[in-house]
Amino acid sequence: GEKRLCYKELVEKILKGFSSQVINATRDRLQIFCPRCTPQQLEVLKLAGVLPWSCASAGLIAKSDAFRLIGALTGSNVPHRNSRLFSVDSLEVYHECFGGCVGTLEIELYTDPYAECVTCSQCDGVFSPRTFVTHHHTSGEVHTCHWGFDSANWKLYLMLCND
């Protein structure tokens, strides 16, 4: 099956700036289920130092669902471009992950996968290629399985527009 992460660790390390109420509401809206881990999985998490030994149970979240949750929560908390004027060396790109999105990739700004060089065509948010492939403006795709999604593979998800 798909890799699963410790939900508690995700909330405490990655989503620490968000209230549990906002996180839970977003998780509910996206219909993300976080089952309890088995006793064997709990022991592995404790041995790995992910959970304290006093922890009696923990939830797990599929890796692709973790990306969906992070993308939904952080999508509006990004820098925005003030102008729609792009250099000649820019490309119209899109992805179909989690509902999809269209943007402009500014080639000269790309220095690494974390460089903020993609501007969303809808909200003017500026993203790195890795975060752009999790960005979307649709509330759909709640029942779609995105098994195996990993933003590190952004080159597989980001495509050139036909125009």
Q: For the domain that residue 67 is a member of, what is the CATH number?
A: 3.10.260.20
Tens-place pLDDT, residues 22-72: 999 999 988 899 999 999 999 999 999 999 999 999 999 998 889 888 888
pLDDT interval class at 18 (50, 70, 90): very high
Burial 21-36 (b: 16+ CB within 10 A, else e): eebeebbeebebebee
pLDDT for res 44: 94
Given a cut of 70, is residue 159 above it in pLDDT?
A: yes
Q: What is the mean pLDDT of the chain?
A: 87
Q: Do 71 and 94 lie in a common domain?
A: no
Range of lowest pLDDT (52-61, 85-94, 113-122): 85-94
Mean pLDDT of 130-158: 77
Global pTM value: 0.68
Contact 52/123 with Cβ under 8 angstroms? no
* Domain count across the chain: 2
What is the 3-state secondary structure of 18-86? CCHHHHHHHHHHCCCCCCECCHHHHHHHHHCCCCCCCCCCCEEEEHHHHHHHHHHHHCCCCCECCCCCC
Q: Do 70 and 117 lie in a common domain?
A: no
Which helix H or strand E contains 156, and what residues bound it? helix 154-157
Q: Do 65 and 104 lie in a common domain?
A: no
Given a cut of 90, is residue 81 above it in pLDDT?
A: no
Which residues form the domain of 109? 90-160
CATH of the domain at 109: 3.10.390.10
